[in-house]
Amino acid sequence: MGGVRRHQIMRALLAAAGVVAALPGLGYSQPRESFDSIVISCDTAPSDAVTKLPPKLSEWATLSCTRFGHVVRAASGWVWHDPKANTFVRIWSQPSGGDLVESGHKHYFKSMEFRQLGVEEAGAANAALAAALGAKAQPVADAYTLALVDAQGRIQTVNFVRSEPNIRLGTFWGWACGSPCYEPQVFMGFKPR
């Protein structure tokens, strides 16, 4: 019941806050214009750039080529939201602690590995998630990890963890972090109704 209640509270907070689209991912500021206005074709991306996501990941995520580099973000109809920072989460290929600069296909992902976690790994991912949320860990139904390597060799990891209530609600919790990981960015993935 705690997961259901938490999900209801999250939806109410999002509706009340009127969340805006121009928010950061992993600490990177998104350009102040609409996201669609910065998208460019992936057709001219470097030959070693990954421009397609694995099928299971494509249920929750999409990869977009933009004027500011390539980015993994929530799939159409989904929201990845960091409740602590009240921001949307996007995983940018451009390493930046501040505002992104226009770079086109200079910044891209050259490697992407997505896999389901085994029982022990899922438990560890769930424990890290619970600790970051300051909550009691719930039993894990399934968990996945996405390891991204950008053109400069920087590694980022995104974990997706689902409990039984999450599966019933069609939601998940996740956390994203660079390597080395100092503090994960926790987010909830859901479909607004």
More confident: 16 or 62: 62
Q: What is the pTM of this model?
A: 0.79
68 HSE (CA, 13 A, CB side) = 23
Please give the tally of structural domains in the chain: 1
Enclosing domain of residue 155 = 2-186
Choice between 171 and 21, residue whose per-residue pLDDT is larger: 171
What pLDDT sits at residue 28?
41
Residue 104 lies in a domain: yes
pLDDT score recorded for residue 58: 94
Mean pLDDT (whole number) for 38-47? 96
Interval 118-129: pLDDT, tens: 999 998 888 888
- The average pLDDT across 88-99 equals 84
Range from 1-5, 88-92, 185-189 carrying the lowest mean pLDDT: 1-5
Assign 35 a pLDDT band (cuts: 50, 70, 90): confident
- Closest Cα to residue 20, out of 81, 63, 84, 94? 81
Would you say residue 191 lies in a domain? no
pLDDT at 69 exceeding the cut of 70: yes
pLDDT of residue 156: 94
In contact, 110 and 43? CB cutoff 8 Å: no
> Do the beta carbons of residue 164 and residue 142 sit within 8 Å?
no
List of residues 6+ apart from 26 with CB closer than 8 A: 89, 90, 91, 92, 156, 176, 177, 178, 185
Residue 193 covered by a domain: no
Inside any domain, residue 166: yes
Quick one: pLDDT at residue 77? 93
Flag whether 192 is in a domain: no
117 assigned to some structural domain? yes
Does the pLDDT of residue 7 top 80, yes or no? no
In a domain, 91, yes or no: yes
Residue 90 included in any domain: yes
